[in-house]
Chain A
Amino acid sequence: MIIGYYPGCSLEGTSKEYSDSLFAVAEKCGINLETINDWNCCGASAAHNLNHDLAIALPARTIALAEKQGLTEIVIPCAACYSRLSQSQLEMNNHYVIKSKIETYLEMKFTGTIKLLTVIEFLEKYIFPQVDKHVVNKLNQKTACYYGCLLARPKEISSLKRSEDPMEMEEVLKIAGATPVKWAYKTECCGAGLSVSRTDIVAKLSGKILEDAVDNGAESIIVACPMCHMNLDMRRPNIKEQIKKDINIPVLFITQALGLSMGISADKLGLNKHFVPTDKAVKCIIKKEA
């Protein structure tokens, strides 16, 4: 089975382990991911902050290329890219004037019928039906599932059933043999786009998220967005400075957690690429009883 794949810039750079672990899990389940030829950056926060039309046009080019390639579904693991591509497709489909204007810039047709999938939707649709065969380990730890903003909001593009207290990631983690904890910060914002220009703010927001996860007994945090991961993992020294507390809880991508339960090696899943050591999370794992 072939599914289209949009990596986005982070998954080819700072969050390569997210892409590696997604491919490892997909390969295990016999699913081929086909990258969109000549894809470009979605424009991220910068484009919608500074230039509305550019924020529609950049993702539209990638979607039009995917249509040309004959893809009918694309998985977009980065929650920020998913948000930008979905917003663009929504505006193009809802506003004829914008659509015809952008189509002339692109010199390509845009039909807007392609199905865009978050990583959670992809796992539910293609991995869950065959997961029983592949899960050999139990993660055997308490996890805090962190959605952040862009998977949960706005409702027009979110795939989650409950936007304030979603449970879809918890379902994945239960399958992987973990115990999800109840906590309050699962859809709070980590500070995302201000990571470089206002690190102090990001450290404050991310610090609150880490504190609440730990206070509720979590031993690891599971994420599905490279921006969230970077802020919760790489920004730990800045967080320490802000909240005057040393928190060493590891942060794993959802595909790494699922990969571990499938017996894929920590190396192949890129667990050595994080700033906060992940060995504590790996050590908890036990063999699943037959």
Chain B
Amino acid sequence: MHSSNDHDKPKGLKARIIKDTGVNITECYQCGKCTAGCPLNEEMDIMPNQVLRMLQLELPGYEDKLLKSMSIWLCLACDMCYQRCPQEVLLSKVMDYLRQESIRQGKVNPKASDILKFHQSFLESIEKNGKLHEMGLTLSYKLKTMNLMQDISVAPAMLSKGKLSLFPHKVKNLKEIEKLFKKTSENKGGEQ
């Protein structure tokens, strides 16, 4: 018999992913097509099919390993895995969830810090302007990572070709954008 407080138990990662993303990760039967087609399989520390297997088995230590992995940050969401999956498991959505969970639990792999800083600089630029200001993004990213000289050689050509603007184009109704950032951050971790 089930004990009466089964419902109150905190849900494991597998159950949370299924509930919050709607992706049924138990469907995967390990054919490996996702890994075979992944453009970044050479770079990943946990292969795409292994990510799913570890989530299914939920053995001790697996959750930590996944949340601290590089794979979740390298995934480009190109959806080649989903395209070829005979069980139609939408792995890119699971990867999105794992990244956000990794941040929530403070387990981001230190080697992924530049990738995370780039995404953060990008969102800061949108929050401030409503549109991406490429020059502002570049400066903010350089300051965050201290990669000050990176891509400096393409800057003059970009400017002379009129591809970089010094000042941001802004959305007129910026209050609406600010509200979207505020509201979606308050409810983070809720139902997806």
Chain B residues near A45 (CB, 8 Å)? 77, 119, 122
Is B154's beta carbon under 8 Å from chain A?
yes
* A40 vs B178: C-alpha distance when bound (angstroms): 12
CB-contacts of A10-55 with B (<8 A): 12-16, 38-41, 43-54
* Chain A, 148-189, CB within 8 A of any chain B CB: 149-150, 152-155, 163-164, 187-189
Interface size class for chain A? 35 or more
When the two chains form their complex, are residues A155 and B180 in contact, meaning their CB atoms are under 8 A apart?
no
- Chain A neighbourhood of B74, CB < 8 A: 194, 198, 201
Would A97 and B191 be within 8 Å (CB), given that A12-B169, A44-B122 are in contact? Answer: yes
Do B162 and A197 touch across chains, with their CB atoms under 8 A apart? no
Are B163 and A149 in touch, CB under 8 angstroms?
Answer: no
B192 within 8 A of A: yes
Provide the B172-192 mask, 1 if CB < 8 A to any CB of A, else 0.
110011011101110110111
Of the residues A49, A97, A199, contact of B96 by C-beta under 8 Å = A49
Q: How far is the CB of B58 from chain A (nearest CB, A)?
A: 23
A275 on the B face (CB < 8 A) = yes
Cβ–Cβ contact B76 & A194, under 8 A: yes
Q: Roughly how many angstroms separate A44 CA and B79 CA in the complex, as a whole number?
A: 15
A273-B163 CB under 8 A given contacts A12-B169, A58-B180, A61-B176: yes
With an 8 A cutoff between CB atoms, is A250 at the interface? no
Evaluate contact between A155 and B83: CB separation under 8 angstroms: yes
Tell me the complex Cα distance, A12–B169, Å: 9
Contact with A along B61-92 (1 / 0, CB 8 A): 00000000000001011111011000000100
- The answer to whether A197 touches B118 (Cβ under 8 A) is yes
Closest to A94 in B: B22
A149 touches B114 (CB 8 A): no
Let me know if A57 and B134 touch, CB within 8 A. Answer: no
Say yes or no: B83 contacts A38, CB within 8 Å.
no
Interface centre among A39, A43, A53, A272 (most CB of B within 10 A): A53
Beta-carbon contacts of A253-290 to B below 8 Å, as 1s and 0s?
Answer: 00000000000000000001101000000000000000
B105 part of interface (Cβ distance < 8 Å): no
Considering the chains assembled together, what is the distance between the CA atoms of A201 and B99 in angstroms?
19
Q: Given contacts A194-B115, A205-B39, are A57 and B162 in contact (CB under 8 A)?
A: no
Neighbour of A51 across the interface among B78, B90, B165, B185, CB < 8 A: B185
Across the interface, do B184 and A54 meet the contact criterion of CB distance under 8 Å?
Answer: yes
Complex-state Cα separation, A38 to B39, whole angstroms: 37
Contact between A14 and B78, CB atoms less than 8 A apart: no
- Residue B24 interfacial (CB < 8 Å): no
A107 CA to B176 CA in the complex, in Å?
A: 9
A199 and B173 CA atoms in complex are apart in Å by: 35
Encoded as 1 (CB less than 8 Å from any B CB) or 0, chain A from 90 to 106 comes to 00000001100100011
Contact between chains at A197 and B117 (CB < 8 Å): yes
Asked if residues B96 and A192 are in contact (CB atoms below 8 Å), the reply is: no
B53 contacts the other chain (Cβ, under 8 Å)? no
Q: Within 8 Å CB of A275, what residues of B?
A: 154, 157
Give the distance to chain A from B171, nearest Cβ to Cβ, in Å: 5
CB of A77 within 8 Å of the partner chain: no
In the complex the two chains form, is B134's CB within 8 Å of A61's CB? no
Which residues of A (86-127) have their CB < 8 Å from a CB of B?
Answer: 97-98, 101, 105-107
**Stretch from B5-13, B26-34, B125-133 that touches the partner:** B125-133
In the complex formed, the residue of A with least CB distance to B180 is A57
Q: Does A191 contact B (CB under 8 A)?
A: yes
Given contacts A53-B184, A153-B82, contact A198 B131 (CB under 8 A): no
CB <8 Å contact, A201 and B43: yes
| Of the residues A16, A49, A150, contact of B119 by C-beta under 8 Å | A49
A/B interface sample: 25 pairs, CB < 8 A: A9-B131, A9-B134, A13-B132, A13-B163, A14-B134, A14-B158, A14-B164, A16-B162, A41-B131, A46-B120, A48-B77, A48-B96, A49-B99, A50-B120, A61-B177, A61-B180, A98-B192, A105-B183, A153-B80, A188-B39, A189-B39, A191-B39, A192-B78, A198-B74, A205-B40
Given contact pairs A51-B185, A52-B96, a sample of 19 additional A-B residue pairs in the complex whose CB atoms are under 8 Å apart: A13-B132, A14-B164, A38-B171, A38-B172, A44-B122, A46-B122, A149-B78, A154-B90, A155-B83, A187-B80, A188-B80, A192-B78, A194-B76, A197-B115, A197-B118, A198-B114, A201-B40, A234-B154, A275-B157
